[in-house]
Chain A
Amino acid sequence: MRVAITATGNSLESKVDSRFGRCSYFVFYDTESESVEFLPNANRESVEGAGPASAQTVASKGVQKVVSGEFGAKVKAIFDQLQIQLIMVPDSNRTVAQIIEMLNKSK
């Protein structure tokens, strides 16, 4: 299963980004192969529609779960339709590595 995590930087030690649409990096983690892929967010500076555009990017990677600090209303509707689960981690002090560790434990 593939999981997308929003991150503030391109290392495993960077924090989870509290925003979804305008996060700095997307981290794609595969729970089976344990592979990690970093993708810079192209919609970071966009004025409008960052959420839906980012949702498109994430969905095209075939993920089943998305972890971020918060999601907007438009994004929620899109992911509901695509049957992708949203996970919110309100305190953004967790690092990407910690999230991956938690995902591994729950496997």
Chain B
Amino acid sequence: MDDSQARKFQKDLNAGLVALVLLAVLERTTEDLYGYEIAKRLQKANEGEALFKEGTVYPVLRALAAGGLLTSRVVPSYAGPARRYYRITADGRAMLRQWSDIWRQTRGFVDRFIEGTDS
């Protein structure tokens, strides 16, 4: 099996999952987080081979904010450019519940075939 095909499969899977994970991360925290902190939390949770590159987190955050699922504010920083802090909105929470249900259904469905619990 060619490595690049495995990567492509992972990338296709990530298309929707990164957004789901980001919403979940922001829902579980009480403070606002900025891109770098979020990326680091994901990295910590993700031992071994990274499932996705941290650079892909930023455009998805921006897309979620543009869709009204997150709000953001800019805070100046001494370490570099001003940081954009994100917080989940009520719409975002509703969307997260809906997406989580879809994810559970999908996972159960896929597992039935892969784990062979159906046979």
Note whether A and B form a binding pair: no
